[in-house]
Chain A
Amino acid sequence: MTAAVVALGVVVALLAVLVVGLLRSHAEILHELHDLRAGTSPPGRLDRSVRPGVALPRGSGATSMGADLVGLTPEGDPVQIAVRGTDAHTLLVFLSSGCLTCRGFWEALADRPSLGLDASTRPIAVTKGPEQESLSAIAALAPGDVTTVMSSAAWDDYEVPVAPYAILVAAETGQVLGEGAGATWGQVRDLMRQALADLDLGTDADLRARVEALRRRGGATGDRDAATDHALLTAGIGPDHPSLRPENLAAGERDR
């Protein structure tokens, strides 16, 4: 009888330890999910924040601003292409020969008139250099009407995170106007149109300064919050906008 009681006690103790472990594990998962959703990571932890579809302009201090493309053509000839001080904005489309999503982009670039880009934007396909890509594979994919450059240095200069990835570079200043990833060419085209529309709004120096300030403190508030603030600012809604202070609105406006 005593042995049975002792054995039962041990089993109950083990079950208690198991339950406590499970509860702790569950709490940690909830905590991680909360951090992930907020776009923040405690010091010492891996940053798991999600990149927004359209990144904010990198600002005037970005090292990649207007970096020339230096590499090889798909035929293996050395080439340099300037993207700053040009007549047209440059849309850098970073692609690889291996990714399935890139296939759609290669096919889209092969039919330049259907790209939906006006004369103010010239597309350039950029792959990694021949040390990481196949010259013959890129030569077979390279569109006839669009310049293709093989340059691993360009991927480093522009800090490209993934393929396919597109970066729109301003003609005169070399500033990155917009960037992002998309599953289809249509998505990327729409992102770039949005970036150009933002550029029109961005002629307001004060607005640009505030957007850049938001960008700089993106690490504190998370890219998601910065992107939201950016969208509000470009819509003319700043911190002092009446709609953000319902208590200051007239009763009629508040009830609407």
Chain B
Amino acid sequence: MARLAAHGLELDLPQGWDGRIMRRETAPVEVRAAPPGGVAPPPPAVAHAATFSLPRELGDFGGGAVELMRRDDLFVSLVEFDRDSLGTTLFVRNGLPGRLRPGDFDPQALQRTLPGQAGTQVFFTAADRPFCLYVVLGSFVRRAGMVPVVNGLLSGVQIT
């Protein structure tokens, strides 16, 4: 078990998983809104974790990676949004979901629909930062056995 930590995100990654935490490539600093007399906030962060080899070039929501998934693979992405999303209805939920259920997953919830896969998206706010948790299962049929693994990973996530 290795602990990855950066940009206010911490993640306990089991052995055999791929993972990384980085800044998202969004609007440049000079474009992002700065409070009067203050400095522009840093770019939002993103954390990826997967049970398969993540490619070097990877979209925030798994573009370039989910196509490589096998039936027993998992992909988890924690995507932070710009601070101007804070307080909007989409992010009204407070805190990272502690426990997902098999019923939360749907083949139609994928950013990119791929045969056999299923996904879920949960928007929330934690530590005054707006996030989207996006999870893809390699097999919708096997979701009952795969969701507890995802919940185990989420139990080791901290946002500060």
Q: Measuring CB to CB, which residues of chain A are less than 8 angstroms from any residue of chain B?
A: 68, 70, 73, 75-82, 84-88, 122, 145-147
Contact = CB atoms under 8 A, between A and B. Distances in A.
Nearest to B23: A77
B53 A88 contact: yes
Q: State which size class the interface on B falls in.
A: 10 to 19
6 smallest beta-carbon distances between A and B, as pairs = A78-B4, A77-B22, A79-B20, A70-B2, A82-B16, A80-B19
B5 to A, nearest CB: 6
B21 A68 contact: no
Contacts of B52: 86-87
11 contacts: A68-B2, A68-B17, A70-B4, A77-B6, A77-B21, A78-B5, A79-B4, A80-B2, A80-B13, A80-B17, A88-B53
B47 to A, nearest CB: 9
B57 to A, nearest CB: 9
Nearest to A82: B16
A81 B19 CA distance: 7
Interface string B36-67: 00000000000000001110100000000000
Nearest to A87: B53
Secondary structure dominating the interface of B? strand
A216 B86 CA distance: 62
B24 to A, nearest CB: 11
B67 to A, nearest CB: 13
Contacts of A84: 16
Given A68-B15, A68-B16, A73-B22, A80 B53 contact: no
A82 B73 CA distance: 13
Nearest to B54: A81
B20 to A, nearest CB: 4
Nearest to B4: A78
Contacts of B54: 81
A226 B105 CA distance: 55
Contacts of B16: 68, 82, 84-85
Contacts of B2: 68, 70, 80
A78 B53 contact: no
Nearest to B53: A86
Contacts of B19: 79-80
B18 interface: yes
B31 to A, nearest CB: 21
Contact of B4 (A80, A86, A88, A147): A80
